[in-house]
A and B are shown apart, each in its own frame.
Chain A
Amino acid sequence: MIALVILAFSLAVIPETLSLIKKKYWRELAVFAAIYLAAFISSVLLTLGYELPSPAKGTESLIKWVFSLFT
């Protein structure tokens, strides 16, 4: 399973990176790399079974805290 993920990511990188290098879009390549890395790392972690924190839960706690200020 994890091999599949790594393979998919490696394949997807190539066309996009090539087109960016060809156009000499360095800034874009940097941003692409950053997001890509984040996506890759989180996917791998998920595939390995780690539980990543849930932003929705964070939002819920935030809202609850805001409410507690009023009551």
Chain B
Amino acid sequence: MLEKGKISAVQLAYVVFILITSLSVIFVPAQPAKHLAWLALLGALGEGLLFFYVCTTLAQKFPDKTLIGINDAVFGPLLGKLVSLAFLWYFIQIASYNLRAIADFFATLFPETPIVVFLLFLVLTSASAVRNGIEVIARCSVLIVPLLIFNYLFDDILLIKDMDFSSLLPLGDVPLTDFLKSVHAINSVQYGETVVLLMVYPFLSNIKKARVSVAAFIIAAALMAGSAARNTAVLGSLGPITTYTTFQTIRVINIGEFLTRLEILIAVAFIFMAFIKISVFYYASVLGLAQLLKLRTYLPLVLPSAVLITVFSIINFTSAIEAMHFTSETYPYYSLPFQIGLPLFTLVIAKVRGLPGKKKGLSP
């Protein structure tokens, strides 16, 4: 067994929460939806839950297999490995996109520091978590989530006096196609990425409880929508031109000239969230590769992968603008086959072939 740890369904829910809320702390690909970003976030919840349902159904059909094992079983040894390889590439790319995203954010705050510094600090921290296994990552999530929720609510309350709710009107005025584009883009970045958990489900102590994470979906959606609405109410027409909306919104907080400059809390929260997200995808890639090649341990792969992820982060995008453009324009389509296309297809083929059969053994 490559991974000896076991996590509870509740711990998984915490991880899901962080996966979903991650980037939204600073940047939500909701440009076309403008002031209806909060509504788009709620709409994406629907799409996300649908994707989640498909993935968990697939996982429950093969309770002891990770995605690699499932692909082998459903598509046969050769084709299955190709599909798995595609997924592994996808996961490692996501790890590098996220790494680049947070590094860009900090580079905006500290412009002279070469981006490599941020990249390395973050990826090496993740590497240490990945080496320790999924249990550690899950436990870290449990610690981090309360901080995040506190942050969301605390900031919402402190900004009440700066909000202009009329900025949220009118409820129309955004063309439907633009709105739907936004909904889908949000889903692909926030909710849909939970497909990676197909690598993690086998380590649940009770696979049937996987859907407990739906609670995480709903709470995360509520908090994110609330925060998007708050950003619109505070920044008004400045919102659409602002690169990091939540950050600028928090900067506005000024209670009695005393509670100011709270934006640092957001930056710190973001570090934690990025850490977990990168670790999860990093872990999935490394574990997956080890499974694919039938290795006895994934540990030796961790460190070189760290370097690879960093290299990808650097070469993928030459500027932050390119990265954001990619996230809102290309990624929603690129991710489609991985988040729903293949899982759905796999599920259908599995049903057609009557899998899993009567043979139930412990396979990696």
Contacts and interface: CB of A to CB of B under 8 A. Distances in A.
Nearest to A51: B315
A22 interface: no
B296 A39 contact: no
Given A35-B305, A55-B312, A56-B317, A16 B330 contact: no
A32 B334 contact: no
Contacts of A19: 300
Given A25-B297, A28-B297, A31-B293, A39 B314 contact: no
Most chain B CB neighbours (cut-off 10 Å) among A31, A51, A62: A31
B300 A28 contact: yes
B227 interface: no
B301 interface: yes
A47 to B, nearest CB: 10
B304 A35 contact: yes
Contacts of A54: 315-318
Nearest to B90: A59
Q: How large is the interface on A (under 10, 10 to 19, 20 to 34, 35 or more residues)?
A: 20 to 34
Nearest to A66: B333
A35 B333 CA distance: 29
Q: How large is the interface on B (under 10, 10 to 19, 20 to 34, 35 or more residues)?
A: 20 to 34
B207 interface: no
A35 B88 CA distance: 14
Interface in A8-58: 12, 16, 19-20, 25, 27-29, 31-32, 35-36, 38-40, 42-43, 46, 51-57
A20 B193 CA distance: 34
B317 A43 contact: no
A12 B303 contact: yes
A59 B330 contact: yes
Interface of B: 93, 97, 289-290, 293-297, 300-301, 303-305, 307-308, 311-312, 314-318, 322, 326, 330, 333-334
Given A31-B290, A32-B300, A43-B307, 15 more contacts: A28-B296, A28-B297, A31-B289, A31-B293, A31-B295, A35-B308, A36-B304, A39-B305, A40-B307, A46-B314, A54-B316, A55-B312, A55-B316, A57-B316, A63-B334
29 contacts: A12-B303, A25-B296, A25-B300, A27-B296, A28-B295, A28-B297, A29-B300, A31-B290, A31-B293, A32-B300, A35-B308, A36-B304, A38-B304, A42-B308, A46-B314, A51-B315, A55-B315, A56-B97, A56-B316, A56-B326, A56-B330, A57-B316, A59-B330, A60-B326, A60-B330, A62-B334, A63-B330, A63-B333, A66-B333
Give the top 8 A-B pairs by smallest Cβ distance, nearest first. Answer: A39-B307, A32-B300, A56-B316, A35-B304, A36-B304, A39-B304, A52-B315, A42-B311
